[in-house]
Amino acid sequence: MDKPTLSVILPNYNHSEYVGEALQAILTQSRTPDEVIVVDDGSTDDSVAVIERAVDKNPVVRLVLNSKNIGAFHCINKAMEMASGEYLYFASADDTILPGLFEMSLDMLGRYPEAGFSCCESETISIPSGAIGKNPRFLSKEPCYLSPRDLARWTSKRDVPIFGLAGKIVRASALMDAGGIISGLHWHSDGFVSLVMAFRHGVCYLPAYLIRMREYPDSLGQLGVKNWPANRKILDLILNLLQTEAYEDVRDFFKTTPVLAHFGWPIVYAMLSDKRYRQFLSVGLGHEILWNRLRNMISPFVPYPIKTIYRRARDRITG
């Protein structure tokens, strides 16, 4: 059997401090990518020089320069038009993937070619404190495939790492089938398409920490959610899309599971203010949003050993 091809897409804007580390982690994986497309989005720092050093040393790295800043998701779509891989990895210039991500993910995807993507556990680095945190879900002790029906069952019980594209190797055809990266959804575009792919094709799950992500209080997503009018417009678009024929096959999953809780209270307000959207309201959705808010408030004050004991007890109860 021919080895599946893997394209890495990495948009960058003024991350000269981290982009070299990100590229080093990508290029030293046990399973190296077939191509790495870096799109620099008009950086004003030393990013281009850092990236060019990687280009000079590694023929698989290709640098695309934007004359002006167009935004991360437009950069991603631009790179996707150039990518040739059967599988795609969407890297962040300020995140670091850990050893084994590509090899383990592609091995599982080879065993379950119907899956839309593979997902794993993640670590976070809080900026500016530098504190490293973990949020283990550990759905299984062994790597496994979760069908759309499995996901519907699991997401009703606990958090499942299927939201967003960080740490995920994506089957290119499944991404296109799900509508691709819809740039008009801005900071919610990766979250929406990942949910559609998961409920349409299922996912492969790896019970291992394979990515370390930096979290900023002023990230694009954080600032976007705080922009109430712009965020509301995007959530309206998401709810409208789910009512179209293109998403008819996954609509019931969004109705019967609490996955829309990832978009927070604003999506509930959107549902309450427009009767067309009320079909997506549920007790489970409200419960999940309340629990997420409470958990985020108290989590910084709970020692890690206590969190571990709680998760083990929860897992025994929920099966």
Q: How far apart are CA 97 and CA 209, in angstroms?
A: 9
Q: So what's the pLDDT on residue 209?
A: 94
Whether the Cβ atoms of residue 51 and residue 21 lie closer than 8 Å to each other: no
Q: So what's the pLDDT on residue 100?
A: 97
Closest CA to 9 of 175, 179, 238: 175
H and E: helices and strands count for the chain:
13, 10
User: pLDDT tens for residues 121-135?
Assistant: 999 888 888 888 887
| Secondary structure letter of residue 260 according to DSSP | G
Per-residue burial over 112-131, b if 16 or more Cβ lie within 10 Å, else e, is beebbbbbbbbbbbeeeeee
Please give the full DSSP string across 47-108, using - where no structure is assigned.
HHHHHHHHHHH-TTEEEEE-SS---HHHHHHHHHHH---SEEEE--TT-EEPTTHHHHHHHH
Both tokens of 133, joined, read 């945190």
Q: So what's the pLDDT on residue 294?
A: 65
| Residues 6+ away with beta carbon under 8 Å from 223 | none
DSSP H/E element including 12: strand 6-12
What is the pTM assigned to this prediction?
0.89
Q: How far apart are CA 112 and CA 107, in angstroms?
A: 9
β-bridge partners, 209: 121
Residues of the chain with pLDDT under 50: 317-319
Closest CA to 38 of 65, 67, 1, 5: 65
Both tokens of 111, joined, read 């065993």
Measured in degrees and rounded to the nearest 5, phi and psi for residue 14 equal 55, 45
Q: How far apart are CA 235 and CA 272, in angstroms?
A: 13
Q: Where are the domains of the chain?
A: 95-318
Q: E-strand spans in 182-296?
A: 203-215
β-bridge partners, 39: 11, 64
Coil, strand, or helix at residue 281? Answer: coil
- Single-letter residue type at 230: A
